[in-house]
A and B are shown apart, each in its own frame.
Chain A
């Protein structure tokens, strides 16, 4: 004889609308939902961290870019200064090169000064409109015009002719202005832009 003991008879008033439990396989529905929520949270956290890292990286790049821009600006200003220096040096070089043809003239003028005369001021400018002509302006410390004649002779010895001379003698100083034209009609290689000191 075998009697099943795994049974308990229930006498409570039964509810009529008792529903059976849902199939076990449908537990996948809430499980998948919870899994998707967990995955979404994890992915959200990862994306958030990545976003924070990207923001920090972008900020770093921005600061780096700004530093580079500042560095570039500084370099550019330094380069501009260097270029200005180069230009200045080039100009000096050009001036030196341009003034080389008239250096013998200047030496002759300086050597022409006698014992009682002195060259107070000497200015030679090249006319941009007529580069073949030199405008001579000099101030000589002397009481007579003899020194001027000597100086003009020396200028003539350098194959320059004077035009439109103007002279003014007074109080021991002689101002002389004239336009010099080379007899060889030679044009200097480099025209100095600034007057000789």
Chain B
């Protein structure tokens, strides 16, 4: 036991999870600490500061190449953190796809992170991070993948600017899981939900068709939109003809997008829209989980 351990016991930090322990929630790792959530897109970064009381500041955006934008925003980001800890939401260069017949052995959703080959089998590619969400009623799964090189590169960029990465995740994937969790709350096959999930997060869009308990189709694109939401509707309008007539829309955005609901109503008429979007929803989810 050295002096640091004694200090950790005396200030109770040893009884909390370590700051870069991904298994623990953000609030447990950083109680009464200011931190910052950074969203990294292809041509922009955005951020929100998290105060000591857990409240998020207003979002700010800097456009440009990731490295240049981070360098430009570094001084502002430093002012928002006590000791440089940040969470990064990766919003570009990832793939979310619908897969079938992945391994369903117990703990496979956790196992795919440490030993993806055993879960993915022939779909496994070296040098990628994976995350999987199984449909408990069918053999389909949502598979997220991104390049390890990309995540390491962003980590290095952030660390070079003096920040410490406490969490790196994909905002779209987090929002998609949130939408699935909020919508599908009945155990087993009771009260199955049919809806068209639309997830928008900092330029990235994912769309999932859920008919009863089945996931039929998933489409995910990054860097679709910036300020104008028309590309979202252009991307999603072909789904309209393939969806069941009574299927509604579940919309989740990290920030409410102006005119998106109206444009979706125009592109997909006669479909009720359940808008789960909230200001700072992604930040809230990252704080809560």
Contacts and interface: CB of A to CB of B under 8 A. Distances in A.
Nearest to A29: B9
Interface stretch (B47-55, B63-71, B177-185, B265-273): B177-185
Contact of B167 (A3, A10, A24, A26): A10
B168 A10 contact: yes
A11 B15 contact: no
Interface in A1-43: 1-15, 18-24, 26-27, 29-30, 33
A1 B131 CA distance: 20
A22 B169 CA distance: 27
Interface string B160-186: 000001111110011001101110111
Contact of A5 (B17, B155, B182): B182
A2 B136 contact: yes
B34 interface: no
B9 A22 contact: yes
A3 B24 CA distance: 20
A23 B14 CA distance: 9
Interface residues of A, number: 27
A33 B6 CA distance: 12
Interface in B1-48: 9-10, 12, 14-18, 20-22, 24
Among A6, A10, A12, A20, the one with the most B-chain Cβ atoms within 10 Å of its Cβ is A12
B225 interface: no
B133 interface: yes
Contacts of A30: 9-10, 12
A9 B173 contact: yes
A29 B181 CA distance: 40
Contacts of A1: 135-137, 184, 186, 188-189, 192-193, 213
B117 to A, nearest CB: 17
A13 B151 contact: yes
B15 A21 contact: yes
Among A4, A8, A19, A27, the one with the most B-chain Cβ atoms within 10 Å of its Cβ is A8
B152 A3 contact: no
A9 B135 CA distance: 17
B113 A2 contact: no
Contacts of A2: 136, 184-188
A3 B184 contact: yes
A4 B180 CA distance: 8
Given A1-B192, A21-B15, A11 B184 contact: no
Contact of A8 (B129, B169, B187, B193): B169
B189 A8 contact: no
Contacts of A9: 113, 131, 144, 169-170, 173-174
| 10 closest residue pairs by CB, A with B | A5-B181, A10-B22, A9-B131, A12-B168, A11-B129, A1-B184, A3-B180, A8-B289, A1-B213, A11-B168
17 contacts: A1-B192, A5-B182, A7-B289, A8-B167, A8-B169, A8-B174, A8-B289, A9-B169, A10-B169, A11-B168, A12-B151, A12-B168, A14-B20, A18-B21, A22-B14, A27-B12, A27-B15
Interface of B: 9-10, 12, 14-18, 20-22, 24, 88, 90, 109, 113, 129, 131, 133, 135-137, 144, 146, 151-152, 155, 165-170, 173-174, 177-178, 180-182, 184-189, 192-193, 213, 285-286, 288-289
Interface of A: 1-15, 18-24, 26-27, 29-30, 33
Given A11-B146, A11-B151, A12-B168, 17 more contacts: A1-B184, A2-B136, A3-B136, A3-B184, A6-B181, A8-B167, A8-B169, A8-B289, A9-B131, A10-B169, A11-B170, A12-B155, A14-B22, A18-B20, A24-B15, A27-B15, A30-B12
